[in-house]
Chain A
């Protein structure tokens, strides 16, 4: 397993994303709420660039106690990234495909050394 430099943590802001290449692997590295996450950039659906699209909060529908719908809202806690080809949506914290959480993208370890961020692949 090799360590590949992603960049400086101080230059990598919340909401940023970078694509790094390690051999023939493409890896998407995200920063969200101070944490780093790294996943395979190959969508589980039709191999699209899963990590290169929109980053957006999960959409939730809230129900009242009487089971009537109170409408749709953006989640305050769960963020998704979306494959730009077809809209396959993944949980940023886990890499799970949110349409079927048994399926998930391959994740990669992130190592921080000083201000340098590395992905291990």
Chain B
């Protein structure tokens, strides 16, 4: 196929086949015997926005469903995100995606299995793409309807076809507190649902009183709560940025910093001590900054955080973080970050595939400062304990047992 290059010139590249594109990943996985390690990817994506024809019929409200059903509306249901993730076609899997051939009844399952097999990933937590901007939808009713429909489609049509290799933390429509609680009650027991996910591109305070019943319901069910970050060039503070790199670098960190600060300072860790909380897709460099910053202010303004019984960084160390996009340019800083977050027990590998800045499992296996136990934990052992995932072969079973991660 041809891709458009500079000045309209066309460059011929192979048609997209994910297995072929990732053949080098498979080679690296073989070289490191990664199939012997249980690898859990806690943040992978599919393009659910390309399946709105299948999702919209699951909307609960007759009027919103009708409103969303016309061909013209289906392409405009989600808040639009300005961006150049494909870098002008340099990341070829974006423009070539429609060309990839599949023969499975659920296309996204087959695409997922292709990248998982190439990377030696055993299980993936499947998150949406377009729905990551749902928190900036102006209609809270529509946020609920779209989350509800997507969650039904995912749990009824997609996850059951994945050979139990996909799981998900489902979209939580927190702009509608009652709807969020209903979402937990409806889907909390579904197969493949390990928790719920709040998209952080939003301004609603996550510590709002209206949400406590929802958090309690998640905690009572032994499920997890994830905050998945994102990007919005429309955010007032980013309107001064003239390049997508700036908005992307700051945005993903910014939204997690914002909501993590509110979560910690308002004592959510004290209110829900048994609720596993995970911060997803903001990299790791923001965490030491926030720990230092909040601890510093806490020492001076303790009276503003009456629920806290320990330093903010201690609460942050109780929570979980996903690895990607892991900033590796300064290995010393990365090692310090791993120490500060107790990475051996709190960090979980994520690829973010197929998005442009995905990471292979080798970003963990090749770190020079990690013990074997830490590598196994981060790649999948910790997730196996958290989400009760069984090994897929005898070598994985032995490794999970060796490092105390065999629970299923």
Contacts and interface: CB of A to CB of B under 8 A. Distances in A.
Given A54-B90, A84-B90, A89-B90, A49 B23 contact: yes
A37 to B, nearest CB: 16
B6 A86 contact: no
Interface in B1-27: 3, 5-7, 9, 11, 13-14, 21, 23-25, 27
A15 B359 CA distance: 30
Interface residues of B, number: 28
Interface string B283-303: 000000000000000000000
A110 interface: no
B11 A87 contact: no
B13 A52 contact: yes
Given A42-B24, A46-B363, A49-B24, A54 B356 contact: no
B356 A47 contact: no
A52 to B, nearest CB: 7
A7 to B, nearest CB: 15
Contacts of A87: 87, 90-91, 356
B58 interface: no
Interface in A64-112: 74, 82, 84-87, 89
B28 A56 contact: no
A82 B3 CA distance: 12
A108 B272 CA distance: 60
A74 B362 contact: no
Contact of B24 (A15, A48, A55, A74): A48
B88 interface: yes
B90 A53 contact: yes
Given A54-B89, A56-B90, A84-B21, A47 B362 contact: yes
10 contacts: A15-B9, A46-B363, A47-B24, A47-B27, A53-B92, A54-B13, A54-B88, A57-B7, A74-B6, A87-B91
Given A46-B360, A47-B27, 17 more contacts: A47-B24, A47-B28, A47-B360, A49-B24, A52-B13, A54-B3, A54-B88, A55-B5, A56-B6, A57-B5, A82-B87, A84-B93, A86-B91, A87-B87, A87-B90, A87-B356, A89-B90
Interface of B: 3, 5-7, 9, 11, 13-14, 21, 23-25, 27-28, 87-93, 356-360, 362-363
